[in-house]
Structure 1
Amino acid sequence: MANKPDICEETVFEGARAVLCTVDPNAHDIRLVYRGPDGEVLGRVKKAVTALAAAGRVPVLAMNAGMYHADMTPVGLYVEDGTELSPLNADDGFGNFFLKPNGVFFTRKDGTAGVMETEAYRAAGIAPEFATQSGPMLLIDGDIHPRFLPDGTSKYIRNGVGMRADGSIVLAITRDKVSLGSFARLFRDVAACENALFFDGAVSSLAWGVQMEIDAGEPAGPIVAVFDKFEG
């Protein structure tokens, strides 16, 4: 096992082990990465952290951060360094992404961040520095997604992102298989988030530094990476 970052804690909730990492935008930079310097899709969390380290910045942690098509392109909105690479997707369809309401995780140029339901995000006219759309929303203003069963039979290792009222970001991943309902309650009851967004399940992976801590061995599209903020 890699050394656990100070911002991460282990917990057990409803019988399942989970990792919660609390990110303070004042102390950390949050980036989304998708392609390497050669323009090719990175495709795995391990490859992403290796490329970031080679470029001179070793992340505190990184995890997959959104769903992707078979050709590895993002299913929904994806913005990197202020450039939109994939548009907002408000279509109907099958699968978790389309279990509406879905939503967007974004950061602004000043480092502040948010998780918003897709239509609310569109209406807000936000100009993000980084953004990734996924679905479903887990929590909407403190309420669990209306279509979730209390504890459905579909259980996977899952990961996602939540926002606390104080502006801090919580990145969470389970070590054991959980339902969407239980995962939403983790964000509400343990992480104290008001809004939270599901990133993915079954492919969920986590790196601490350049070492994989949880590795599903599956491809990853958009990847979120957290760095210590440099002084000066």
Structure 2
Amino acid sequence: MRWLAVALLFWALPAAAVSCEDVDYLGNSYTVCTVDATQEDLRLFYKDVDGGVIGSFGALEDLPSVGSLAFAMNAGMYHDDRSPVGHYVEGGIETMRVIPNAGPGNFGLLPNGVFCITDTSAQVYETLAYVANAPACRDATQSGPMLVIDGALHPRFLPDSTSRFVRNGVGTSTDGATAVFAISNNSVTFHEFGSFFKDYLAMPNALYFDGKVSRLYSRAQGRSDFGFQLGPMVGVVE
């Protein structure tokens, strides 16, 4: 009856808060983490209670308010002082306004977008749609460019681009119930990364978080990337 004991033990174990897996697609490797936004405690993190920038997964794990960290990722571009480049809301408090106009760098490669989290949903909005709809986000971070907009690839992504970096981003389901985070495990172009969200993950909307500084924490995989000090982060806590 050993099989029965093992089965009962497996049944009694709590379900993982985040499902992460490695995926090979068209010659590139990605790690994909899927979050049930209706059930899991998905949040943004930037500063601690003393006003200091958290900056790393290790420091995030050490916060008393976090408890057990299941997953984390850098979540939006930031300045040299690690302050958000674009719109940022955490716990209902806005610390940076929406930037609706074009600007330098990838952030200004319009259209860009906003990742919005409520207690029971997560959605990626194109920035002007976000401004028009004014969703009630508990947490929000603006980044860019959009990878996928209403099922279409960003119009300025070039199939023959030679710009390659490790990149990360997020896509959301139409109903806002599922957020899918991905990071490339090798350098990829914007076209390759956006196509992965559009064609493989089938995300109707997806947003680029960053490149080169892209980092992932996955407790289930025993992974905690290190390197650059980070600005805003997104994570799931238990």
Same fold? TM cut 0.5 = yes
Provide the C-alpha distance between the structure 1 equivalents of 2:18 and 2:97, rounded to a whole number of angstroms: 35
How far off is 1:214 after superposition? 5.4
- What letter matches 1:165 in structure 2? T
Counterparts in 2 of 1:56 and 1:195: CA distance versus 1, 3 Å: closer
Provide the C-alpha distance between the structure 2 equivalents of 1:155 and 1:212, rounded to a whole number of angstroms: 26
Corresponding residue of 1:44: 56
Moved more, 42-51 or 80-89: 42-51
Report the number of matched residues.
222
Larger radius of gyration: 2
Which string of whole-angstrom CA distances, capped at 9 and with x for unpartnered residues, describes residues 3-53 of structure 1? x976111101121110111111122111000001221011223322332xx
1:104 and 2:119 aligned: no
Corresponding residue of 1:159: 168
1:182 and 2:192 aligned: yes
Corresponding residue of 2:102: 92
How far off is 1:91 after superposition? 3.0
**Aligned equivalent of 1:135, options 117, 133, 144:** 144
Provide the C-alpha distance between the structure 2 equivalents of 1:100 and 1:146, rounded to a whole number of angstroms: 9
SS of residue paired to 1:7 = strand
- What letter matches 1:95 in structure 2? G
SS of residue paired to 2:165 = coil
Provide the C-alpha distance between the structure 2 equivalents of 1:213 and 1:28, rounded to a whole number of angstroms: 20
Task: Report the aligned-residue RMSD.
Answer: 1.9
Counterparts in 2 of 1:56 and 1:87: CA distance versus 1, 3 Å: closer
Whether the 8 Å CA contact 1:45–1:64 is kept in 2: the answer is no
- What letter matches 2:56 in structure 1? R
Provide the C-alpha distance between the structure 2 equivalents of 1:175 and 1:62, rounded to a whole number of angstroms: 16
Structure 2: gaps (5+ residues): 1-15
Whether the 8 Å CA contact 2:57–2:217 is kept in 1: the answer is yes
Whether the 8 Å CA contact 2:18–2:70 is kept in 1: the answer is no
Provide the C-alpha distance between the structure 1 equivalents of 2:152 and 2:66, rounded to a whole number of angstroms: 41
Whether the 8 Å CA contact 1:20–1:171 is kept in 2: the answer is yes
After superposing on structure 2, the runs of 4+ consecutive aligned residues of structure 1 that deviate more than 3 Å are 209-212
Counterparts in 2 of 1:149 and 1:6: CA distance versus 1, 3 Å: same
The percentage of aligned residue pairs carrying the same residue is 46
Moved more, 159-168 or 173-182: 159-168
Corresponding residue of 1:12: 24
How far off is 1:151 after superposition? 4.0
Which string of whole-angstrom CA distances, capped at 9 and with x for unpartnered residues, describes residues 185-209 of structure 1? 1111221100000000000011123
Corresponding residue of 1:148: 157
Counterparts in 2 of 1:149 and 1:160: CA distance versus 1, 3 Å: same
Provide the C-alpha distance between the structure 2 equivalents of 1:172 and 1:31, rounded to a whole number of angstroms: 17
Whether the 8 Å CA contact 1:102–1:136 is kept in 2: the answer is yes
Whether the 8 Å CA contact 2:18–2:34 is kept in 1: the answer is no
Structure 1: gaps (5+ residues): none
Corresponding residue of 1:169: 179
Corresponding residue of 1:25: 37
Whether the 8 Å CA contact 1:157–1:173 is kept in 2: the answer is yes
SS of residue paired to 2:67 = coil
